[in-house]
Structure 1
């Protein structure tokens, strides 16, 4: 493999692993915030105690994923200087601003709010405590917005001018309203909610299949997860289709690959515009990844739509094979979302900044041997972190609410009530 191939492999692998953390974080945090809000403002003591335990259980799984995932985000930052110094030299004045904002929001604001929420159990008034988890959710999506603004510039550079071979920002409004960023944000947000909903529904269904005694807690969780995943998976397909006109307008070669026609004509046009070269990305990767994402997305949408009706008859609770089916589809949204990123990133090759900076020109002056070592180490670290994350999530998910350590201790009177002494078999409203 060439140095460029190794650098691309390293970034592709680490980004894909990091994205598995991000999409679950974005999908879970609004649901945890919703659970906490319901718990904090429920008057019936028994129902409130169940909902508090529900918040602690799912909140702990969210915190585990966030804590391990943020490490992968920190490590990824080093790759820009290590492998892609040409990008910083050419587009640092434009690309750097949204990337810095994303870092400030994710690693400072979001982490601060989350830390206050974690250690605020029993120490804050309930309104303040609830506001904190909603601020965590808000900053999570604000972080996603800024990283997509940065990525949107790579996909379709706008709001800049090139002087002496360096891009300078001239229109900040155009940068943040780039259609390649905004439509993608809607698609990703809905994909994350689908992932979070399937995750919650799948784990809840597994506990019913195993004969849980926490019927009230997991029944409410199951309903929430199924409804969220059903609605979001339906709209994620619609918003995903809204990206097609944007791709056709800004990246006609990618559009030709996805359509399966006009590739030769587009190659000839790009040669005439940018000079000799191969402007056709890996067609099999782009088309197959798009098909994989579409098939899995439609599968999840269909299953969750049927699951809504099964809830009415309580079949997801009473039929073990249906419960196990809900658990089995947990990986599907993750795989589909990685397929979507493959389409987005590989489909713009050979450009790093579309039409302005090629991958080869952006590559740092690093030896092939150094890149081989760093590629191996980065991928090994990320795979190890992913294994640790899912081992911890699986362990605590299997333990159930009794194993939750988030907010352990007796809350103050103005906050949520203590978790003990409630009859977990009492019925709880779905929403």
Structure 2
């Protein structure tokens, strides 16, 4: 493999694996926030206890995914300078600020709020505690917004001017309202909510099919997940199609691949616009397959969830075990669809890294092929190991159920227990 192919493989693999963490984080945290709000404002003690356990169970799965996933995120931005210094030199003045804001929000604000939420069980007032998890959700989506602003500039550059071969920001408002970023954010939001709700739906169905003692907890989780998964799985494809007019205007080769257009004709047009060169993305046929896979999965999940809603009548969904196992088997579907969409969006704009201005070959750093081969192998191995670790932990705690939940569990602090063991014990949250 050439140096540029190794660099592309490394970035594609690490970004793709990192994205699987991100989409689950974005999809799961709003559901946990709703559960916590529901529990905090429930007056009936018995129902409140069930909903608190529900919050802690799903919250623990979210925390596992966030904790492991944030390690993968630390690597991403370093690669811009290590492997793609040409991109930083050309466009760093434009998307440097969005990337910095994304880092501040994701690695400082979001993690701070999450830490306070994790260790706030039993110590914070319920209103403050609930507010913290909503702030975690808000910062998660704010982080996604800023990273898509940076990516949107690479897809469709706006609000800039080029001086001496370097892009400079001239219109911050245009950058913030780039339609390539905003429509993508809406699509990603729906995809994330579908992913998180399908996970909750599948795990809840798994426990109900096995005859769990926590029937009320998982029945409530299943109903909430269906309430979210049904509309989001339907509208995610609709919002995704809203990007097609933008692609026809700004990335005609990608649009032609999606719509089965004449690639040779588009190639001739682009060669006339940008000069001689091959403007077909690599493995163009596979891009159509990736896009079709995403669409088929979206409509499949939508159809299954609609049937599940109908089966809620007279509790048939819980009693019909084959369908419950189908819901469990559906858990990987949104992740596969998400990867397909990511491949289409990123690979489909090749050979450009900043569309119309900077090619992938020109953006590559002056790094030896041997160095790239070593870093590629090491990074992919580490990321795969982290992904396996993440899903091993999630699967283990999901199968064990609420009784194995450690989030929000409390134990007495030795220094707070008076000598002789009398008096009221102060409780400290443990994770």
The TM-score bracket by the shorter chain reads: over 0.9
Distance 1:387 1:311 in 2: 34
**Per-residue CA distance 1:374-426 (angstroms, 9 max, x = gap):** 11111000000000000000010011111000011179xxxxx99xxxxxxxx
Distance 1:347 1:33 in 2: 36
The Cα shift of 1:255 comes to 0.6
Q: Report matched runs for 1:366-377 at 5 Å.
A: 366-377=367-378
Unaligned 5+ segments in structure 1 are 412-416, 419-431
The Cα shift of 1:77 comes to 2.0
**Per-residue CA distance 1:87-142 (angstroms, 9 max, x = gap):** 00000000111011101000000000000000001111110000000000000000
Q: Which residue of 2 aligns with 1:12?
A: 12
> 2:242 is paired with a residue of what secondary structure?
helix
> 1:330 is paired with a residue of what secondary structure?
coil
Distance 1:322 1:305 in 2: 12
Q: Which residue of 1 aligns with 2:397?
A: 396
Q: Could you tell me the TM-score, scaled by structure 2's length?
A: 0.94
> 2:133 is paired with a residue of what secondary structure?
helix
> Bigger shift: 49-58 or 270-279?
270-279
Contact 1:122 1:410 in 2 (8 A): no
Q: Which residue of 2 aligns with 1:179?
A: 179
The Cα shift of 1:316 comes to 2.1
> 1:58 is paired with a residue of what secondary structure?
helix
The Cα shift of 1:241 comes to 1.1
Q: Which residue of 2 aligns with 1:340?
A: 341
The Cα shift of 1:261 comes to 1.5
Large movers: runs of 4+ above 3 Å: none
**Per-residue CA distance 1:119-171 (angstroms, 9 max, x = gap):** 00111111000000000000000000000000000000000000001100000
Q: Could you tell me the TM-score, scaled by structure 1's length?
A: 0.94
**Per-residue CA distance 1:330-379 (angstroms, 9 max, x = gap):** 00000000000000001100000000000000000011111111111110
Distance 2:254 2:126 in 1: 50
Distance 1:7 1:306 in 2: 45
Q: Which residue of 2 aligns with 1:267?
A: 267
Distance 1:42 1:211 in 2: 26
The structure, 1 or 2, with the larger RCO (C-alpha pairs under 8 Å, 6+ apart) is 1
The Cα shift of 1:207 comes to 0.4
The Cα shift of 1:83 comes to 0.7
Q: Which residue of 2 aligns with 1:247?
A: 247
Q: Which residue of 2 aligns with 1:61?
A: 61
The Cα shift of 1:270 comes to 1.3
> Bigger shift: 79-88 or 260-269?
260-269
> 1:167 is paired with a residue of what secondary structure?
strand
Contact 1:315 1:322 in 2 (8 A): no
Q: Which residue of 2 aligns with 1:38?
A: 38
**Per-residue CA distance 1:240-282 (angstroms, 9 max, x = gap):** 1111111111111111111112311211111112111100113
Q: Report matched runs for 1:82-97 at 5 Å.
A: 82-97=82-97
Kindly tell me the number of residue pairs found equivalent between the two proteins: 414
Distance 2:79 2:318 in 1: 47
Unaligned 5+ segments in structure 2 are 413-426
Contact 1:15 1:76 in 2 (8 A): yes
The Cα shift of 1:192 comes to 0.4
Q: Which residue of 2 aligns with 1:125?
A: 125
The Cα shift of 1:80 comes to 1.1
Distance 2:43 2:141 in 1: 31
- The RMSD of aligned alpha carbons is 1.4
The Cα shift of 1:60 comes to 0.3
